[in-house]
Amino acid sequence: MPDYREPYGDLPAPVLDLIRSAGLAEFATVSGAGLPIDTPVGCFHELDGRISVATGVSYPAKAERVRRNHRVGLLMEGFPGEPVVLVAGMGAVHDADLQANVDRYLPEIAAYFDNFAAGYSYAQTRDSVHYWAKLFIDVSVRTIWWWDDWSQVERLPHRWDAPSNTVWPASDPAPAVPASVPLDWSPLPWRDQAAEVMAEGLPAHLTLLDADGFPLPFRARAVARTEDGFALDLPAGVPWRVEGKATLCFIARATFVGTVQAAPGGARFTVERALPVMPIVSDLSAIWSPTSEARRKLSERLAAELARRGQPVPVMPQEMPAPTGGSLLRAERSRKLYAELARQGDGGALYIKQD
């Protein structure tokens, strides 16, 4: 067992087990306009209690948002019977040494690379630097809420808070050159996207700001289409007032921006627009074998982001390095996840159904 030193080590064992072994979370940040935006991400628990998130240098929007507003939220959902864990934290962006980030990232995913490699070997993916070049966002935990399992989310959660004198780590200094122009991934009309995700039965997470300004995602019990958006069945234990600017994310296959308000039986989400969807999100194989147009766009933005940091293209090792202890823990959960999804007949959903 690794020598954990996290400040919240007195939490119940099932909660700690989930935090330490979860390799996937809903991760929410705040835009410059004050909009909470949720994206599913891979995450890595550190021995000192930080929860680290990696995002691509060629798609740095999450990191840019964290640099402007350090408040972030993470939702980790286990299997049926396991806890539901929600974290409010302070994010710090690390991009001063992108080669070090690659060297840090690879051992963290080494044990379960095959589970998301879409049939490709590491040797076949080494040239996909548009994916491997990473920015890290290290999240120091401020508050943890948890429910013993999904059946308990109608109740108020348990809660842990960091000491009031906690010093939050700072981001690396921002590059002096302004960020490059975001890539133009023209989305389908939002109603077309809504029809697709509803037809697939994908889970939906609603994200709002809580009273302290933290963007907190939470899964809806059920979702139905309306003329101007969606009707949501929300658990009573949601961590925010059901009102205001929000995003509704269907495991990144579609993310809708709009406003939400409480309604009889749940809430109504009125859509204003859909966010662009990167091809490498909607199709895992496109991470390693993107279309020529997608590869061109990602490569051009990677070059621009490397140039503004004055750093070279990171060098990939010939072989995948040995996994960390945390990677082995996440690999075991990943194997169970894919086995359960196969049992449920939902192999492409990435999320377990919660009754």
pLDDT tens by residue, 254-283 = 999 999 999 987 999 999 999 998 877 666
- Measured CA to CA, the distance from residue 77 to residue 24 in angstroms comes to 9
Q: In terms of residues, how long is the chain?
A: 355
Tell me the two tokens of residue 173: 């200094």
Mean pLDDT, residues 316-341 taken together: 91
Q: Which residues contact 91 (CB under 8 A, 6 or more apart)?
A: 29, 53, 66, 70, 71, 72, 137, 138, 139, 140, 171
Mean pLDDT, residues 7-26 taken together: 96
Query: Residue 68's Cα: distance from chain center in Å?
Result: 18
- Percent residues over pLDDT 90 in the chain: 81
| CATH code at position 167 | 2.30.110.10
When pLDDT is cut at 50, 70 and 90, the band that residue 60 belongs to is very high
Q: How many CB atoms lie within 10 A of CB 352?
A: 20
Question: Using CA atoms in the order 171, 175, 180, 183, what is the torsion angle rounded to 10 degrees?
Answer: -30
Query: Does 142 fall in a domain?
Result: yes
Query: Does 60 fall in a domain?
Result: yes
Query: Does 4 fall in a domain?
Result: no
Q: In what order do the strands lie in the sheet with 266-274?
A: 215-219, 205-209, 243-250, 254-263, 266-274, 229-233, 222-225
Q: How many CA atoms lie within 13 A of 144 on its CB side?
A: 27
Q: What is the pLDDT of residue 336?
A: 86
Query: Does 279 fall in a domain?
Result: no
Query: Does 224 fall in a domain?
Result: no
pLDDT digits (tens, 9 = 90+) for 187-228: 789 999 999 999 999 999 999 999 999 999 999 999 999 999
Query: Does 96 fall in a domain?
Result: yes
**Domain of residue 296, residue span:** 13-179+286-344
pLDDT digits (tens, 9 = 90+) for 306-324: 999 999 999 999 999 999 9
Overall number of domains in the chain: 1
Query: Does 202 fall in a domain?
Result: no
Query: Residue 188's Cα: distance from chain center in Å?
Result: 22
Query: What do you get for the CA distance between the two ends of the chain, in Å?
Result: 32
- Taking CA atoms, 136 is separated from 33, 96, 105, 173, in Å, by 23, 10, 9, 13
Given a contact cutoff of 8 angstroms between Cβ atoms, the answer to whether 75 and 235 are in contact is no
Query: Does 204 fall in a domain?
Result: no
135: nearest Cα among 70, 61, 76, 71? 61
